[in-house]
Amino acid sequence: MKLILLSIITLLFSAFSSKAQAYKAMPTDSATWGLQYVTQFNTTYNKEIVKGDTLLAGKTYHKTYSHTGALLGFYRELNKKVYAKVLNHPDTSEILLYDFNLNVGDTFYDKRTSPSQITFYYKYKVTSISTSTVTIDACKQYYFSCVGYQGPPSSYSNVGAACSLSWIEGIGSVQGLFNTRANGEGLECFLAALSSGGTAYLICFEHNSIQYMTQSCLTVGLNESGISSGLFQQFKIYPNPTTGFFYINAKCVSANMIYTIKLLNVLGQEVYFTKNEYGIDITGLKTGVYFLQVYVQDKLFQTTKLIKE
């Protein structure tokens, strides 16, 4: 009897572990990556947006645009590998962007970082794999170190070491999806090595209106989103976790600002709706994780993970 019980517990634990570590594929539509580029000269912002599909050589690719609407390229995923055709890239066929089959000790040539007209790639080795701490879900994060290169001039041989490579399942690189120098992006490796500390940061990622990082992508480059950067600050939710009653601190410049609050469960179902409320009571809802969305001017401004205890 004890042996049977132990077997059942083992099976249940294995099933739970398998579910917790289930692979998360890259988004195929309605996703946005928000990037911040910081150099010793200035700070700029950009977005990579996946919207729509196209058929190339009999294969379905997902189209990726910048925040200005310029087409950056296309990507597809097969067997945990992400392939891409990047506009203006030296390799006009197809490059391997990510391989989420890698294990610690495996190596990978990062072809995103090849500048236009010059073909060279930095070689990275997986140093560790852990659970990401920058996203709301438990996805694997891969950490790399630069261990070599293929083809660059000697003056560029140290550049790869200056760019810390890291991937997150379902998101891609922490420097952005494509982030290729061929598109005038991804200069962080050069700048970090040659210009005293320039780098790029992935500061937000959203998919199907769910915010997976601390910052909302709507706040990235506010002047480009149609919302004035001086209009309001980030909405603060407290206490979080909550036992049922919480407050929203909306420091609006305009007292007449109208904002809408929606609360979604983990299935994406709307379970609460209100306008311009500062104190919200959800004691009637079940304990668990919810996503609180704030809409301003009918645009999704912010999504915050809310825990109901």
Q: How far apart are CA 285 and CA 303, in angstroms?
A: 19
- pTM above the 0.85 mark? no
The verdict on 187 and 56 lying in the same domain is yes
Whichever domain contains 235, its CATH number is: 2.60.40.10
Range of the domain at 263: 227-308
Q: Could you give the number of structural domains in the chain?
A: 2
Residue indicated by tokens 């070491």: 161
The verdict on 158 and 282 lying in the same domain is no
Of 146 and 299, the structure prediction assigns the larger pLDDT to 146
Q: Is there a domain that residue 300 lies in?
A: yes
Q: How far apart are CA 255 and CA 187, in angstroms?
A: 42
H or E segment at 33?
A: strand 31-38
Q: Is there a domain that residue 221 lies in?
A: no
DSSP H helical ranges for 205-286: 222-225
Q: Is there a domain that residue 144 lies in?
A: yes
Q: Is there a domain that residue 181 lies in?
A: yes
Residue finishing a domain among 210, 236, 256: 210
Residue finishing a domain among 161, 178, 210: 210
Backbone angles phi, psi at 168, to 5 degrees: -130, 130
% the chain with pLDDT above 70: 66
The verdict on 173 and 274 lying in the same domain is no
How many other CB atoms sit within 10 Å of the CB of residue 158?
14
Task: Compute the chain's Rg from CA coordinates.
Answer: 22
Residue finishing a domain among 163, 185, 210: 210
Q: Is there a domain that residue 62 lies in?
A: yes
Of 54 and 90, the structure prediction assigns the larger pLDDT to 54
Whether 215 has a pLDDT exceeding 50, the answer reads: yes
How many other CB atoms sit within 10 Å of the CB of residue 274?
12
DSSP H helical ranges for 63-212: 188-194
The verdict on 164 and 88 lying in the same domain is yes
Q: Is there a domain that residue 21 lies in?
A: no
Adjacent-strand bridge partners of 122: 110, 149
Whether 74 has a pLDDT exceeding 70, the answer reads: yes
The verdict on 205 and 269 lying in the same domain is no
